[in-house]
Chain A
Amino acid sequence: MRTIFGDELIKTYFKWRSYIAFIAIAIIVPLVMVAMRMQGDVMVKSITRGLSQDFFLVGNILNGYFVTYFIMNALWIHIPFLLTLGAGDQLAGEAAAGTFRIILTRPVSRTRILATKYCTTLFYTSTVVVFLVALSVVVGLLLFGTGALLVPGKTLTIIPANDVPVRILFACLLAVWGMWVVASLAFFLSSLVDNPLGPIIGTMAVIIIFYVIGAIPADLFREFKPYLFTTYLDIWQKALEQPIPWNEVLRSGAILGGYSIGFYLVSWYIFGRKDILS
């Protein structure tokens, strides 16, 4: 038996706009992979240059896990933009299409409709992130094979090949958790207006501003930084540290969760009182 949630999934996944994110990922991932297949050795050398003077590295460094890490790291800033296309459309899209008039005149409360739509937004966001990671892993393993994961950073972390799948799964879950904040922001902005373009551009603008504030090393901005959700969007990288810094994971995760809940509550407050004039 289908439910209201099932109907929301149909509304979302039967719309071709929802697939822009998937199509973009399906183009980018293989493209980067092929480029790395051709020139990856040079890149690995530059990462491990300092090390190979002191250590003797054996094994396949440029493996499927490494390219997955590389792609997640490279696309991190851009995935939010793809997500807003789906999330920003959830409420404003219905307002623009006039379809609120056929669903909000029905005996189901707005609170329930909103909750269902929010779940749909989170579900959609999750599928996009999982698609990115899964496609990277699958294509990566096919092209480069397996091996231990070498994570460059302040210190070089090496995760044994057997542990990597669990770590990547955990990184994927944390990535989903972080992207839910972006989706919640787009969802909140979507509750304000009757045109999906506003929330899409608005979300991008907020993220860009937050990233810029977070990146500029001025004292004034440094004080803001702990309050910006963008500071914590790299939470997934903590799953690939050795050992996993559980305290930081919990703290960042709680802050991100707080943002998501906050955005949802504000959209609930607005949507419950909104006059539907479209």
Chain B
Amino acid sequence: MVSEPVLQTKHLGKKFGKRWAVHDLNLVVRRGEVFGFLGPNGAGKSTTIRMILSLIQPSTGSVELFGRPLVRHRSEVLKRVGGLVEKADFYLYLSARRNLEIVGRLLGRTSAEEICRVLEIVSLTDRADDRVKTYSHGMKQRLGIAQALLGSPELVVLDEPTSGLDPQGIKEVRELVGRLSRDQGMTIFLSSHLLHEIEQTATSMAIINRGRLVVQGSVRDLLSDRDVKVRIEADPAERAREVVAGLPFAADVLMEGKFIEAKLPPDRIPEVNHLLVQLGIEVRALVPKRSLEEYFLAITEGISEVTPDDKIGEGGKA
């Protein structure tokens, strides 16, 4: 079952001076998804989000929300979207409640109960009448999420919502995203530079690097199962290589220095281990490395000219 797209970017691009911050970006986010938008710092995530929320004018292409072009139907479609762009900033000298009233008024239909409701969701009810100036970073971030939830939007866009939060805060945000998606049926667009974060919260994902889309598809397809590259540390190594190479489900078996590398289906890794041990080979480690993860680590570590493995494209490159 494929639901309709709530957000689409079509050949979206933004040029700052001579540099393309975002180039020919085609994203499709469907109703009900938790969409993870993954990329290293400076990849163009924030620029894309700013274009989606009308803070930046695209140089090329367009943004469509709920099937309508943003430029022509701005007010109409933005009523159905809530957003938090980068870190949460507020009028520090006003109370949280007053800040939410200001945002709510721009939405045009926000009652006092609605403000209480979103404050409740992020557990800020007790501090609602304190000036935001007195808030900790984590509380501001929560208030940022609260303002994105005003008016029960159909699509919530959150730009690095866990940045700067402590582990407890990260966990809370993650759980909140899950609840919003499950219980309220909201579509969530979530950006992050951390693969595991997307892996834990998202159902679909796209990776962007240097302003360009690398891959897009469901998290399940992209991040798990099929043909994981496994590094095997065993002694004697050569004997182990021969054994692994003889397995019908193993592919690309080769020696990498002292280690063996092979592509294996993840559910059969224990079987391989068992077999090697039975044959009297000492197995020190079996380390599965997913190709996408390897690729993503490479780009985040700044190894510049990496191109994605061909294998990755199978996940459904747009």
Which chain A residues have a beta carbon within 8 Å of chain B's beta carbons? Answer: 2-4, 7, 10-11, 14-16, 97-109, 273, 275-277
Contact of A15 among B55, B74, B93 (CB under 8 A): B93
Interface pair B78/A107, CB less than 8 Å apart? yes
Complex contacts, A106 vs chain B, CB 8 Å: 78, 103, 106-107
Complex contacts, A4 vs chain B, CB 8 Å: 105-106
Complex contacts, A101 vs chain B, CB 8 Å: 55, 85-86, 89
Closest Cβ of chain A to B18, distance in Å, is 16
Could you list some 6 contacts between A and B, CB below 8 A?
A98-B89, A102-B89, A102-B144, A105-B53, A106-B106, A107-B108
Listed from nearest, the 5 A-B pairs whose CB atoms lie closest are: A98-B89, A106-B106, A276-B55, A105-B53, A107-B75
Contact of A276 among B56, B75, B78 (CB under 8 A): B56
Cα separation A275 to B51 with both chains bound (whole Å): 9
Closest Cβ of chain A to B112, distance in Å, is 12
Complex contacts, B83 vs chain A, CB 8 Å: 105
Interface pair A275/B87, CB less than 8 Å apart? no
Cα separation A15 to B106 with both chains bound (whole Å): 21
Complex contacts, B106 vs chain A, CB 8 Å: 4, 103, 106-108
Interface pair B78/A105, CB less than 8 Å apart? yes
Cα separation A7 to B54 with both chains bound (whole Å): 22
Cα separation A102 to B146 with both chains bound (whole Å): 11
Closest Cβ of chain A to B171, distance in Å, is 25
Interface pair B57/A10, CB less than 8 Å apart? no
Cα separation A277 to B21 with both chains bound (whole Å): 13
Complex contacts, A104 vs chain B, CB 8 Å: 54-55
Asked if B90 is at the interface (CB within 8 A of a chain A CB), the reply is: yes
Asked if B102 is at the interface (CB within 8 A of a chain A CB), the reply is: yes
Total contacting residues, chain B, CB less than 8 A? 34
Interface pair A102/B103, CB less than 8 Å apart? yes
In the complex where A102-B147, A107-B107 touch, is A97 in contact with B89 (Cβ < 8 A)? yes
Closest Cβ of chain B to A37, distance in Å, is 38
Complex contacts, A103 vs chain B, CB 8 Å: 102-103, 106
Complex contacts, A107 vs chain B, CB 8 Å: 74-76, 78-79, 106-108
Asked if B249 is at the interface (CB within 8 A of a chain A CB), the reply is: no
Closest Cβ of chain A to B113, distance in Å, is 16
Interface pair A7/B105, CB less than 8 Å apart? yes
Complex contacts, B89 vs chain A, CB 8 Å: 97-99, 101-102
Interface pair A2/B105, CB less than 8 Å apart? yes
Closest Cβ of chain A to B143, distance in Å, is 10
Complex contacts, B105 vs chain A, CB 8 Å: 2-4, 7
With both beta carbons as reference points, the residue of chain A lying nearest to B99 in the complex is identified as A102
- Of A10, A16, A275, most buried by chain B (CB within 10 Å of CB) is A275
Complex contacts, B50 vs chain A, CB 8 Å: 275-277
Interface pair B91/A97, CB less than 8 Å apart? yes
Closest Cβ of chain B to A110, distance in Å, is 9
Closest Cβ of chain A to B92, distance in Å, is 7
Closest Cβ of chain A to B52, distance in Å, is 9
Closest Cβ of chain B to A46, distance in Å, is 48
Cα separation A4 to B105 with both chains bound (whole Å): 7
Given contacts A101-B85, A102-B90, 13 further A-B contacts (CB under 8 A): A10-B102, A101-B55, A102-B103, A102-B147, A103-B103, A105-B54, A105-B85, A106-B103, A106-B107, A109-B75, A275-B50, A276-B50, A277-B56
Closest Cβ of chain A to B67, distance in Å, is 17
Cα separation A10 to B88 with both chains bound (whole Å): 20
Asked if B94 is at the interface (CB within 8 A of a chain A CB), the reply is: yes
Asked if B98 is at the interface (CB within 8 A of a chain A CB), the reply is: yes
Complex contacts, B144 vs chain A, CB 8 Å: 102
Closest Cβ of chain B to A141, distance in Å, is 36
Complex contacts, B103 vs chain A, CB 8 Å: 102-103, 106
Closest Cβ of chain B to A162, distance in Å, is 46
- Of B55, B75, B144, B147, most buried by chain A (CB within 10 Å of CB) is B55
Complex contacts, A16 vs chain B, CB 8 Å: 93
Cα separation A273 to B54 with both chains bound (whole Å): 11
Asked if B24 is at the interface (CB within 8 A of a chain A CB), the reply is: no
Cα separation A107 to B88 with both chains bound (whole Å): 19
Interface pair B78/A100, CB less than 8 Å apart? no
Asked if B101 is at the interface (CB within 8 A of a chain A CB), the reply is: yes
Closest Cβ of chain A to B84, distance in Å, is 8
Cα separation A100 to B93 with both chains bound (whole Å): 16
Interface pair B75/A98, CB less than 8 Å apart? no
Contact residues of B between 8 and 58, Cβ < 8 Å to A: 50, 53-57
Closest Cβ of chain B to A79, distance in Å, is 25
Complex contacts, B108 vs chain A, CB 8 Å: 107-108
Contact of A275 among B56, B79, B102 (CB under 8 A): B56
Cα separation A105 to B91 with both chains bound (whole Å): 16
Cα separation A108 to B50 with both chains bound (whole Å): 16
Interface pair A14/B93, CB less than 8 Å apart? yes
With both beta carbons as reference points, the residue of chain B lying nearest to A16 in the complex is identified as B93
The 0/1 profile, CB within 8 Å of A marked 1, for residues 186-226 of chain B is 00000000000000000000000000000000000000000
With both beta carbons as reference points, the residue of chain A lying nearest to B78 in the complex is identified as A107
Closest Cβ of chain A to B51, distance in Å, is 9
Cα separation A4 to B102 with both chains bound (whole Å): 8
Cα separation A263 to B197 with both chains bound (whole Å): 48
Complex contacts, A2 vs chain B, CB 8 Å: 101, 105
Complex contacts, B55 vs chain A, CB 8 Å: 100-101, 104-105, 275-276
Closest Cβ of chain A to B181, distance in Å, is 21
Closest Cβ of chain B to A174, distance in Å, is 34
